[in-house]
Chain A
Amino acid sequence: MSNKTPIEEEITRNLLSGNEKAMALIYDNYSAALYGVCRKMLLSTEDSEEVFQEVMVKIWKAGKSFDPNKARLYTWMVNIARNTCIDLMRKNNRRPQIQDTDSNVHVIEQKNHNTEFPVDHIGLKEEIAKLRKEDRNVLELAYFSGYSQGEIAKKLNHPLGTVKTRARKAINELKTLLARDIGR
């Protein structure tokens, strides 16, 4: 994948060679992003802490299978976090409540303490704020809350087709807005 940061390369090298230093680097650089995904998906601090630890262990255990030619390290880790959260939701047969996107804006400031991160934080917030709230809501419910298209339609009182249209619109806007951040 293109546009790898030096830290991603260092982590990948250590991860593939089984050096635990990889995990310290992951923690110091990506824990906020990964924990943020858990919080967003599970909401409760207790569940999020538990799942976040599980995610870190999974990253470590599966580390040797990571192929930097097939995926970007950060995306690979976020996918592990998402899948682990979805597993817990299934296990508990529950899902988090709908959360208004604006209520999460305050946490954005917290991530800036990270030493290195694969995206441009300052621009990110402004760019994402350009998305329409209705479109963003659909995207969040699908991506973070694991709701099906039908469930989102019911919750937001939208026709089924509108849900898909809004999600696609939001993704396309994100693609345009974030393209420069991921070098594509």
Chain B
Amino acid sequence: MDVKKYIESGIIDDYLMGFVSEQERQEVQCLSKIYPEINEVLRSSENIMSTWAADFAEAPPAHLRAKILDNLPPQEDLPKQDPTEQKEDKSILIDFSEIDQDKDESPKVNYWSYAAAIAFIFGAIMVWQWQSARSSSLEMKDEMLVQQEQMEDLKNNYEEMASAMQLKDGLLAVVSDPDVQKIVLGPAKEDMNANSAMYWNKVTQKAYFHRLALPAEPSDSQYQLWAIVDGKPQSLGMVSLEENVAWQELSTVEGAQAFAITLEPMGGSESPTLENMMVIGTVS
């Protein structure tokens, strides 16, 4: 329970004024017994009100002093009830005189009244706690679900970022190698809008492909990479169809003069379909 929020709602002042329902009245009384903070605010407000009441002080007639002090009854060892506890909703007027008489004459009635009152208070506390626990449990469950979703999103974002970082790290390692030469693959035909790049290590003879801007493949086709060695095409493998793979390591190739990409049937061809050449670049 959010005690601070409960106090700030102003219900304690409303309770003192009697501006609360019967249920709220019992709630304030129960909660003030459970939460010291609520009790403190209630007592403090009561002190304010009683201090204010002193503003209306008026001396009683003098004869009452002796009348009262000379006729004090025996003091009770244990009180029948807390005489200060606010009773039921004061807007409901009930004649309690009969009940008061019974109370004095029959202790049995008192016993049952107390048993019933205690049972009621415990019942009220339990119902309230159950409701409160249920409500907080539902709230917590919702909150946990939201947090789980947020965690999942964060995890996905992290994985994407880690994968992108790995890709960039690999690319950086390749391009920063002084033995590696970049071969820009420009459009094979003027009206094509395609660009790629090959990175070729002349010492190790390893080739790396960076997809850059190749149009999406038709569903039954795949891009194939070629190296032109001694004027003859030699397949370097297929461009990965996997999404996000923009960078891949290829087979080694010796004495490449140029690199090209053609669009081939799925799985590739033994020789390039020249009319489907997309990009080409020569080794300087």
A interface vs B, CB < 8 Å? Answer: 1, 18, 20, 23-24, 27, 31-33, 35-37, 39-40, 45, 48-49, 52-53, 56-58, 60-65, 70-72, 74-76, 78-80, 83-84, 86-87, 89-91, 93, 104, 107-108, 110-111, 113-114, 117-119, 121, 124-125, 128, 139, 142-144, 146-151, 163-164, 167-168, 171-172, 174-175, 178-179, 181-182, 184
Q: Mark B167-185, 1 if CB is under 8 A from A, else 0.
A: 0000000000000000000
Complex interface: chain A residues within 8 A of B49 (CB) = 75, 78, 143, 171, 174
Complex interface: chain B residues within 8 A of A182 (CB) = 47-48, 51
Q: A79-B50, A107-B58, A171-B48 are in contact. Are A63 and B93 (CB under 8 A)?
A: no
Q: Secondary structure of the A side of the interface?
A: helix
Contact of A64 among B76, B82, B85 (CB under 8 A): B76
Contact of A35 among B58, B86, B87, B90 (CB under 8 A): B58
Residues facing A in B69-101 (CB within 8 A) are: 69, 72-73, 75-79, 82-87, 89-91, 93-97
CB pair B58–A39 under 8 Å, yes or no, is yes
Residues facing A in B38-69 (CB within 8 A) are: 39, 43-61, 64-65, 67-69
CA distance A149 to B16 in the complex (A): 12
Interchain Cβ contacts within 8 Å, total number: 208
CA distance A104 to B87 in the complex (A): 27
CB pair A61–B75 under 8 Å, yes or no, is yes
**B37: CB under 8 A from chain A?**
no
B interface vs A, CB < 8 Å? Answer: 10, 13-14, 16-19, 39, 43-61, 64-65, 67-69, 72-73, 75-79, 82-87, 89-91, 93-97
| CB-nearest residue of chain B to A167 | B17
A-B residue pairs in contact (CB < 8 Å), sample of 15: A20-B69, A33-B53, A36-B57, A49-B64, A64-B77, A65-B79, A70-B43, A75-B47, A110-B57, A113-B59, A114-B57, A118-B54, A128-B52, A139-B17, A178-B52
CB pair B48–A175 under 8 Å, yes or no, is yes
CB pair A49–B56 under 8 Å, yes or no, is no
CB pair B59–A72 under 8 Å, yes or no, is no
| CB-nearest residue of chain A to B88 | A90
| CB-nearest residue of chain A to B63 | A49
CB pair A149–B19 under 8 Å, yes or no, is yes
Contact of B84 among A24, A71, A167 (CB under 8 A): A71
- Beyond the given pairs A62-B79, A124-B55, 15 more chain A to chain B contacts, judged by CB atoms under 8 angstroms and listed by A's residue number, are A23-B68, A40-B56, A49-B60, A57-B73, A58-B83, A61-B79, A71-B46, A78-B53, A79-B83, A83-B83, A104-B55, A107-B57, A143-B52, A167-B13, A171-B49
CB pair B83–A32 under 8 Å, yes or no, is no
